[in-house]
Structure 1
Amino acid sequence: MPRVAVLRHRLGVGSEPFVLEQARRFGRWEPVLVARDALPAGLELPAASLVESAGRRAAAAHTAGVGSRPLAALLRELRVDAVLAHFGVEGACALPATRRAGLPLATVFHGFDATCSPAALLRARKPSWATYVRRSRRLAREGELFLPVSEHLRTRLLERGLPAARTRTHHLGIDLGKLPADPPAAQPRTVVHVARLVEKKGTAHLLRALALLPADVRLVCVGDGPLRRPLGELARHLGVAGRTTFTGAVGNDEALRLVAAAGVLCLPSTTAANGDQEGLGQVLLEAGALGRPVVATRHGGIPSAVVDGRTGTLVPEADPAALATALARYLDDPALAARTGGAAREHVRARFDAARQTALLEDLLDGLIGGSR
């Protein structure tokens, strides 16, 4: 059985359950998780850490793009046949090590890594992002496979010069087995918003939409982030703080329970000032799998996840009035919400089952080693 190194600098990030979910779904390939940072507890899969195997200096050199030997040695020690890097940053940082180890590299692009401008990435002053900018042309030339999670991201990557023949849209899907076996009854006058509280997620526009809806409509914001305090202040200014709950960061199981308990999910994503856009919006798939209608924006890769008018409603970016109108349709018409949620469930199960999508990924990985085995 061939082995694939699933590479993410920091594993176990709460907002990224898809990395581990995908790894657990491999069947014909054996996954081994590879992190730059220390490993979190409870990974349930074979895993290795660069900082733990080679030390902090080696990890820092890897991030800065000036040292590839330690990672190459770790990949050889793990006896992997290919490397699957999550995010363009990881792909760029790992590229020299994969060349040194003689391994093919597949890179998954999730959003900012395909939409933020090089100048914006450099302004963030993150060493790994600077390495990504500096090495992006080499990655485009030498990387064996590029896997944007939506057609929108593929278009953006092609505009940046990635080769069309090696750039394939690949939806990660969701693990249908993780859904609550006995979900709570939906509260039809509750809107749930699951997102990291950053500009791209459009939470401020949702709060303004809430102010336009009747006083019995409640909003549950699931997640945390740098905008938590200003968003709380905005809720107070708008007079909706009393019917808005900020849960803070929660585990994926609890997030799913909160989605199942709501009448509708809203993800009003917008293009951030630095160009960051939504790759797909995994929570839209989770809501659909739970039979919940969604209201989202016509933005980034979201149209790949939501069929407007059938599995949910898409509205323009940064338009609170349009958001409020779309939300009110589902909140005021439980029968419509049920029909739309049912269509969303069928859509997700047919097109975004993680088991099926990971089997397709294994086929792509087979192609990378077919000539060498």
Structure 2
Amino acid sequence: MPRVAVLRHTFGIASETFVLEQARAFTRWEPVLLSRDALPAGLSGAVLGRGAAAHTAGLGSAPMTRLLRDLRVDAVLAHFGVEGSCVLPATRRAGVPLATVFHGFDATTTTAALLRARTPSWVTYARRRARLARQGELFLPVSEHLRTRLLERGFPADRTVTHHLGLDLRKLPAAGEPEPRTIVHVGRLVPKKGHVHLLRALAELPGVRLTCVGDGPLLGELTHLVGELGLGDRVRFAGRLDNTATLELVARSAVLCLPSTTAPSGDQEGLGQVLLEAGALGRPVVASRHGGIPSAVVDGVTGLLVPEADPVALAAALRRVLDDPELAARLGSAAREHVTGEFDVNSRTARLEELLDGLVRR
């Protein structure tokens, strides 16, 4: 059985369950996790250890090269362009092909914003992005929107293939009757996630309650806006929850809302994995027509899409779903069918294994 090194500098991030779900879905390839930090339980792998700092800063590839050789991997699958750029020199020295998955910010954030962040791995990515485009064997954006952004940045069309990661449908809780007139938003408290626009829309929806899952630097600003708009008794900031608790909350809510916008850095949504989770649970979605979201939500069929940063349009769409149970049920049913048919992690990973087969043959 061929072996693929699955590289993510930090595994187990609550919003990135798709990385490990994909790794566990391999059947013809053996996944070997590579990390800068600790490894999750249940999968084999290795930690870079003392060479991690040099690896992420782009100062030395020898430790990673030795790991790739010692593990006898046939290919490397790097999650995020940052990881792809950091591991690129080691894959050249070890003689193994590199496939890089792009999830969102890594295809859309400007080079200047990456450099301003001063995070060593992001700086390495900013400096090596053009080299990665020239030398990497395969690039896998998770939506057609991200593929377009990569092509604009000079990535080769023949090696840049849209590939949806998929969702582990077995993990979903039972979806009973939702609590009426409830909205849930899942995402970090950062400008890209559109909380400000959702709160302003909520002010136009009397009696509707909102729960926001996630933490981040905007908590103070958003809490102040809640008070300013007189929404104190209708908004709850639940903080960071694990995936199980998040799914249970989504399953109980009447609608999931993700009104994402383009951040000042250029950062955009790659796809919006929570949209797939809500759809698989049979919950209707209201979201912005932004980034890769239209790859996950079929407007008017599985959910409703509105323009970015438009609280009036957002409130109107939410009102339609909340006031019309038949519409909500129809959207939710279509969403479940769409996700189970197009985004099952097992069928998507089988396709990924075919792409890796092609790398080895080439």
User: Does the pair score TM above 0.5?
Assistant: yes
1:117 aligns with 2:110: yes
What is the rounded CA distance, in whole Å, between the counterparts of 2:260 and 2:323 in structure 1? 23
**CA displacement at 1:133 relative to structure 2:** 1.1
Counterpart contact for 1:264–1:293, Cα < 8 Å? yes
What is the rounded CA distance, in whole Å, between the counterparts of 1:188 and 1:29 in structure 2? 45
What is the rounded CA distance, in whole Å, between the counterparts of 1:65 and 1:119 in structure 2? 18
Question: 273-282 vs 225-234, which deviates more?
Answer: 225-234
**CA displacement at 1:74 relative to structure 2:** 1.0
TM-score, length-normalised on structure 1? Answer: 0.96
What is the rounded CA distance, in whole Å, between the counterparts of 2:94 and 2:218 in structure 1? 42
CA RMSD of aligned residues (A): 0.9
Identity of aligned residues (%): 72
- Specify which of 271, 296, 301 is matched with residue 310 of structure 1: 301
Aligned to 1:313, the other structure's residue is in SS state strand
TM-score, length-normalised on structure 2? Answer: 0.99
Residue 189 of structure 1 aligns with an amino acid whose one-letter code is R
Counterpart contact for 2:175–2:282, Cα < 8 Å? no
Counterpart contact for 2:214–2:240, Cα < 8 Å? yes
What is the rounded CA distance, in whole Å, between the counterparts of 1:289 and 1:44 in structure 2? 25
Give the equivalent residue in structure 1 for 2:12: 12
What is the rounded CA distance, in whole Å, between the counterparts of 1:93 and 1:363 in structure 2? 25
Counterpart contact for 1:187–1:261, Cα < 8 Å? yes
Residue 47 of structure 2 aligns with an amino acid whose one-letter code is S
What is the rounded CA distance, in whole Å, between the counterparts of 1:146 and 1:178 in structure 2? 28
Residue 258 of structure 1 aligns with an amino acid whose one-letter code is L
Counterpart contact for 2:36–2:48, Cα < 8 Å? yes
Residue 82 of structure 1 aligns with an amino acid whose one-letter code is A
**CA displacement at 1:43 relative to structure 2:** 2.8
Give the equivalent residue in structure 2 for 1:23: 23
Give the equivalent residue in structure 2 for 1:50: 48
Question: 183-192 vs 354-363, which deviates more?
Answer: 183-192
Give the equivalent residue in structure 1 for 2:2: 2
What is the rounded CA distance, in whole Å, between the counterparts of 1:226 and 1:81 in structure 2? 41
What is the rounded CA distance, in whole Å, between the counterparts of 1:183 and 1:312 in structure 2? 17
Residue 199 of structure 2 aligns with an amino acid whose one-letter code is L
Give the equivalent residue in structure 2 for 1:319: 310
Gaps of 5+ in 1: none
What is the rounded CA distance, in whole Å, between the counterparts of 2:223 and 2:116 in structure 1? 27
Residue 44 of structure 1 aligns with an amino acid whose one-letter code is G
**CA displacement at 1:272 relative to structure 2:** 0.3
What is the rounded CA distance, in whole Å, between the counterparts of 1:364 and 1:108 in structure 2? 12
Aligned to 1:366, the other structure's residue is in SS state helix
What is the rounded CA distance, in whole Å, between the counterparts of 1:230 and 1:161 in structure 2? 38
Aligned to 1:241, the other structure's residue is in SS state coil
Gaps of 5+ in 2: none
1:87 aligns with 2:85: no
- Specify which of 247, 271, 292 is matched with residue 262 of structure 2: 271
What is the rounded CA distance, in whole Å, between the counterparts of 1:309 and 1:43 in structure 2? 41
Aligned to 2:107, the other structure's residue is in SS state helix
Counterpart contact for 1:288–1:294, Cα < 8 Å? yes
Counterpart contact for 1:188–1:334, Cα < 8 Å? no
Task: Count residues with an aligned counterpart.
Answer: 362
1:108 aligns with 2:101: yes
Residue 15 of structure 1 aligns with an amino acid whose one-letter code is S
Give the equivalent residue in structure 1 for 2:182: 190
Taking the TM superposition and a 5 Å limit, the aligned residue runs for 1:85-164 are 85-164=78-157
Residue 230 of structure 1 aligns with an amino acid whose one-letter code is E
Aligned to 1:188, the other structure's residue is in SS state coil
What is the rounded CA distance, in whole Å, between the counterparts of 1:276 and 1:241 in structure 2? 30
**CA displacement at 1:184 relative to structure 2:** 4.1
CA displacement 1:133-171 (0-9 Å, x = unmatched): 111111111100000000000000001100000000000
What is the rounded CA distance, in whole Å, between the counterparts of 1:98 and 1:43 in structure 2? 26
Aligned to 1:169, the other structure's residue is in SS state coil
**CA displacement at 1:235 relative to structure 2:** 0.9
Counterpart contact for 1:184–1:257, Cα < 8 Å? no
